[in-house]
Structure 1
C-alpha cells in the first residue's frame, strides 16, 4: 500500500519582514499511486502558480540509501516542463543527506524571485512513471561512470600540476640561491678592490715622498712602488739598509 500523502491541498502562510510581505506555499507532491490523485495534485500545483507567479521555487528531493529518489526527478522534470524554472530563482534541497557526506557539497546562499509563466499543462501519466524511472536509473548509472572517469582524470591532472609546481619552486629556490651567492661574491670582490685601491693610494703617497728626496736609492724605490712593485722595492730598500 502506498503511504498517505502529507499534503493534499495547497497551503500558504504570510510573513511580513521590514514592511515586505512574503507568502510561503506548501504544495502537494505530484506522483501518487493513483492517476486520480495525480490529477488533483496537478490542479493544486497550478493554483499555487496562479496565486503567486512571481516566486522563488524551493524543490525538495527525498533520498533513498543516499541517492535521490527517481520519482522526485520524474516529478521535477514534469513541473519544469510546465513552468520553466530560472536558475536564479530555483533552490534545490535534498533531505536526509548523510552526516559523513563529501566536502564538495555546495549550498545556495540567495535566490531572487522570477515570474513563472505556464508553458504547457503538467503532463504525467501513471503508465509513464515506471518507464521514466528506468530511464533515470540508466542516466544515473552513466553519470556515475562518467564521474569516476573524470574524477580519476582530475586527480591525475592535479598530481601532475602539483609536481610541476614543486619542480618550479625548486628551480626558483636554486636560482635565488645562485643570485644571493653572486651578490655575496660581488660584495667580496668590491671590498677587495676598495682595499687594494686604499693600499695603492698609500703606496703612491710613499713613492711620491721618496721620489722627492735626493737619495738615488730612495728615488728608485719610489719609482718601483709607483709602478705597483712594492715587494721588489721593499727588498731593494732592505738591501740598502
Structure 2
C-alpha cells in the first residue's frame, strides 16, 4: 500500500505505440512480472488503458499500458483517442516519462507509427529530455550500421532532437536476456527527466482535417450568400457592382477549390482505410504461415503487404501536400 507521501512523489510512466509493437510485453519486462495481457495476434490485444504502481530505483511510478491509436475502423480510433487522453489526464499533476514504441517492417520504420507519434506530440508537446524512443523486435543479427542510420532517420521523420533511443532485440517469454533488457530499460528511465505534460491540442489524425474543412466550406457558402444579398440593392452602381462581382468571384473560386480539395481528401482517406485493412489482412496471412518462410503463401503475404505499405506511404505524402496547400 502506497503512503500519501509516496502518492505525492509519484511519477507517471506512459507507454505509447500502435497495436502489435510490443507495449504490453515491454511493460511486463520493466515490471519484472507478467501483469499486462499480451499475445501474438493479428488484432490488438489492449483495448482499455491499464495501469499499476511500481518502484524503479528509489522512485515510485504509475506505469500505463495504453491501446494503439490507429486501427481499421473509426470507432476504435475514437475510443483509443479517449483512452490515451485519459492516461495523460490522470497524471496531469505529476511529472511524466513517455515511452514511444516503434515497430518495424524488415527494419523500416512504419508510416502509421510516425503518424501516431506526430498526433500525440502535437497534442502534448513531448519533450526530448522526458521521452524515450524504443525500436522493438529487432533481429539480433542486424547490420552494424542499422542503429546509427535508424537514429538519423527518426530525427528526420519526427523533426525533433531525440536524447534516448533504445534498440531492443526480438525476445520471447523465456529469453535469457530479459533481465539484461529490464536493467537497460530501467537505467534509461531513471536517467531521463520527468515533465508535466499539458494538453494543448486534440489528438488529431489527417482524416480529422476533412471534417474541419467541410465546416469551413459551409461557412464560406454562407458568406457567398450574404455577399450576394448585400449587393442586390446596389447593382445599378457600376463601381459597387464591379467590387461586388470581384468579391463574389474570389469567394466562388475559394469555395470551388476547397470543395475540390475536400473530395480529394475524402478519396485519399478512403484509400488509406482500405490500405490499412489490406495490410492487416496480409499481416494475418504472414503470421499464419510464419513457420515456413519458403512457402508460396508466406512469400505472397509478405510481398503484398509490402506493396500495400508502399502505396500507403505515397498516400500519406499526397495527403500532407494537400494539407500544406490548404493551410
Asked if 1:84 is matched to 2:125, the reply is yes
Q: CA deviation at 1:85?
A: 0.4
Match of 1:6? 45
Instruction: Report the 3-state secondary structure (helix = DSSP H, G, I; strand = E; otherwise coil) of the residue aligned with 1:96.
Output: strand
Q: Distance in 2 between matches of 1:118 and 1:12?
A: 20
Match of 1:134 among 308, 314, 322: 314
Match of 1:113? 194
Match of 2:91? 52
Asked if 1:63 is matched to 2:104, the reply is yes
Instruction: Report the 3-state secondary structure (helix = DSSP H, G, I; strand = E; otherwise coil) of the residue aligned with 2:134.
Output: strand
Q: What is the RMSD of the two structures over their aligned residues, measured on CA atoms?
A: 2.8
Q: Distance in 1 between matches of 2:80 and 2:270?
A: 17
Instruction: Report the 3-state secondary structure (helix = DSSP H, G, I; strand = E; otherwise coil) of the residue aligned with 2:86.
Output: helix
Q: CA deviation at 1:20?
A: 3.4
| 8 Å CA contact 1:71, 1:129 repeated in 2 | no
**TM-score for both structures, normalised by structure 2:** 0.38
Q: Distance in 2 between matches of 1:128 and 1:76?
A: 22
- Count of aligned pairs: 137
Q: How does 1:1-241 map to 2 (within 5 A)?
A: 3-17=42-56, 20-53=59-92, 54-104=95-145, 105=147, 107=165, 109=188, 110-124=191-205, 125=207, 127=269, 130=272, 133-134=313-314
Could you say if the C-alpha distance between residues 133 and 83 of structure 1 is closer, same or farther in structure 2, counting changes exceeding 3 Å?
farther
Could you say if the C-alpha distance between residues 49 and 101 of structure 1 is closer, same or farther in structure 2, counting changes exceeding 3 Å?
same
Q: Distance in 2 between matches of 1:128 and 1:77?
A: 21
**TM-score for both structures, normalised by structure 1:** 0.50
Deviations 1:131-185 (A, max 9, x none): 97426679xxxxxxxxxxxxxxxxxxxxxxxxxxxxxxxxxxxxxxxxxxxxxxx
Could you say if the C-alpha distance between residues 40 and 75 of structure 1 is closer, same or farther in structure 2, counting changes exceeding 3 Å?
same
Could you say if the C-alpha distance between residues 56 and 135 of structure 1 is closer, same or farther in structure 2, counting changes exceeding 3 Å?
farther
| 8 Å CA contact 1:31, 1:75 repeated in 2 | yes
Q: Distance in 1 between matches of 2:314 and 2:100?
A: 22
